[in-house]
Amino acid sequence: MNLLRSYISNFLSRKGSYVFLATIFARLFSFLAAWFALKLVPNKELGVVLFAYNIILFIIPISGLGLHQSFLRYGALLTTNEEKNSLFLYVLKKGLFVSLLLITLISIGALFIDFQFPNTKVYLILLSFIIIPSFLLEIIKAQLRLNHDNKKFAYTEITQSILLLINVIVLSYFFTEIGYAIALVISPIFTSLLFIKKIGINFKLKIKSNIIDLTFWKYGFFASLSNVVTQLLFVIDILLIGYLLSNTEMVTNYRYISLIPFSLLFLPRVFIATDFVAFTEKIYDKNYIKEYIKSYMLLFLLVSIFLLVISYFFGGFLLTLLDDNFAKYTSTFFIMMLGVSGIFIFRGLFGNLLSSIGKANVNYYIAIIALILNIISNYYLIPKYGIKGAAITSAVLMWLTGLLSFVCFKILYKKALLKVAYTSSSAPKLL
């Protein structure tokens, strides 16, 4: 228990409570923004905007070719503020250029695609401009985390959500669907403008960083691709249920039954978001990493046991809070909770530790393997067991990807430590 107490104490000392509360409030405000949009914008027109927006959501992780991911990881390994400052300026310049290029490609591509819904091209082009402020906001958040200022990092999350809510209400009220689309674009712009002066960057500094090479770019690219494929993993079940069962009611049932389990995934993300820079800075301290792993796994083992007990005994009651008809899917709900515990205990931790040692490409390969197995397994299990088959597939893959991440990290971490022990060069050059 001393181990657990120490872990939570360290989490709180790094302002993890601010990140936790900001995440909760950000989700609440985002929900309210979606609810107001539903009330203020006609359903048909709102559907077109959301269709285009969901396309952009899949592209946003690769904005700037993932350089914000490289900045966070490699920046944590730098020792001076001047070096971090220089790296920020490099990432800002190159990332904005790549993001602008990406917007151009999307806009040109949209002109040549015959979408089934009217005005999709217009909204896709308009919403593609989210890519630049989203990238800018991500590197601002990364800089705050590198400064160990998790408090301001938390404020960026909640500020963006509040601005989104206000903008959606005002612009949707006066300009309906086009107002909603504009609100989505300008909210990260306003947030970035509010916080860019708070990160302490000297924009006149011209020191060249010595860690920028092809490996730096590859890391961010694979980290962003991994995020895209991971997002697709959460969507593919619903797509296959609709395709294989040809029953939109089953799609709705699965979407809402999985709502609670998937919503709980914010818990490990809060801890990792708070601690990533801290354990990356000490990634070659074997004893520190070993203690961190033991503490994290103990905490989320206990959390998983608690949630599994609740879902086993009270799953039916929780589902009836959504809809009385969902009570018959209690076993499917429990299977989903069982799968989520695999992410809690293994995947959330070791996936990020792999990123910390510079092996974001391994996360991508694991996600691709999971995506292929997901499709193959669901083609067999969904027709046979319905939405329970989809839940079984997801649960097994959550554990499988977690265990694969664990094994890969154990192997690659030993090699990384041997390289550091063998050479006098700095870690960033090696990895």
Q: What is the DSSP string of 253-279?
A: HHHHHTHHHHHTTHHHHHHHHHHHHHH
Residues 298 and 357 in one domain: yes
The pair of structure tokens assigned to 410 is: 């154990």
Q: How many domains does the chain have?
A: 2
If asked whether residues 127 and 186 sit together in one domain, one would say yes
Separation between Cα atoms, residue 281 and residue 296, nearest integer Å: 17
- Between the CA of residue 396 and those of 152, 362, 376, what are the distances in Å? 38, 19, 13
> At 365, which amino acid appears?
Y
Asked if residue 206 is part of any domain, the answer here is no
Is residue 99 assigned to a domain? yes
Half-sphere exposure of 231 (CA within 13 A, CB side): 15
Q: Are residues 291 and 355 in the same domain?
A: yes
Residue 203 forms part of a structural domain: no
Residue 126, pLDDT score: 94
| Cβ neighbours for 269, distance < 8 A, ≥ 6 positions apart | 23, 348
205 lies in a domain? Answer: no
Q: Which residue, 172, 198, 224, sits at the end of a domain? A: 198
Cβ-based neighbours of 141, under 8 Å, separated by 6 or more: 153, 156, 157
Q: Nearest CA to 334 among 302, 311, 317, 359?
A: 311
Indicate whether 277 belongs to any domain. Answer: yes
In a domain? residue 323: yes
Are the C-beta atoms of residues 377 and 393 closer than 8 Å to each other?
Answer: yes
Any domain includes 26? yes
Looking at residue 423, its pLDDT comes to 63
Encoding tokens for residue 110?
A: 């949209």
Is residue 357 within 8 Å of residue 413, measured between CB atoms? yes
- The pairs formed by 307-312 with CB atoms below 8 angstroms and a separation of 24 or more are 307/264, 307/337, 307/340, 307/341, 308/334, 308/337, 308/338, 308/341, 311/337
CA-nearest of 292, 300, 267 to 409 is 292
Which residue, 198, 223, 250, sits at the end of a domain? 198
- The pLDDT value recorded for residue 409 is 96
Chain centre to alpha carbon of residue 138: 12
Residues 231 and 290 in one domain: yes
Is 60 within 8 Å of 196 (Cβ atoms)? no
Give the alpha-carbon dihedral of 236, 241, 244, 248, to 10 degrees.
Answer: -130
Q: Are residues 158 and 300 in the same domain?
A: no
d(CA 235, CA 189): 28
Domain co-membership, 90 together with 189: yes
Could you tell me if 33 and 153 lie in one domain?
yes
Same domain flag for 148 and 266? no
- Same-domain check for residues 171 and 234: no
Phi-psi category of 115—alpha, beta or left, where left has phi over 0 and alpha has psi -120 to 50?
beta
What's the pTM value of the predicted model, to 2 decimals?
0.88
Which domain, by its residues, includes 242?
Answer: 214-430
At residue 216, φ and ψ (nearest 5 deg) are: -60, -45
Distance, in Å, from the CA atom of 220 to the CA atom of 132, rounded to the nearest integer, reads 16
Residue 204 in any domain: the answer is no
Report, as ranges of residue numbers, the positions in the chain whose pLDDT lies below 50. Answer: 424-431
Regarding whether 57 and 192 lie in a shared domain, the answer is: yes
Q: Does 285 lie in the same domain as 140?
A: no
Q: What are the tokens at 337?
A: 């909770």
The encoded tokens of residue 171 equal 């612009």
Same domain, 218 and 194: no
- Counting Cα atoms < 13 Å in the Cβ hemisphere of 230 gives 23
C-beta separation of 356 from 412 below 8 A: no
Comparing C-alpha atoms, which of 108, 111, 112, 104 is closest to residue 129?
A: 104
> Among 198, 229, 262, which residue terminates a domain?
198
Element (H, E) at 307: helix 286-322
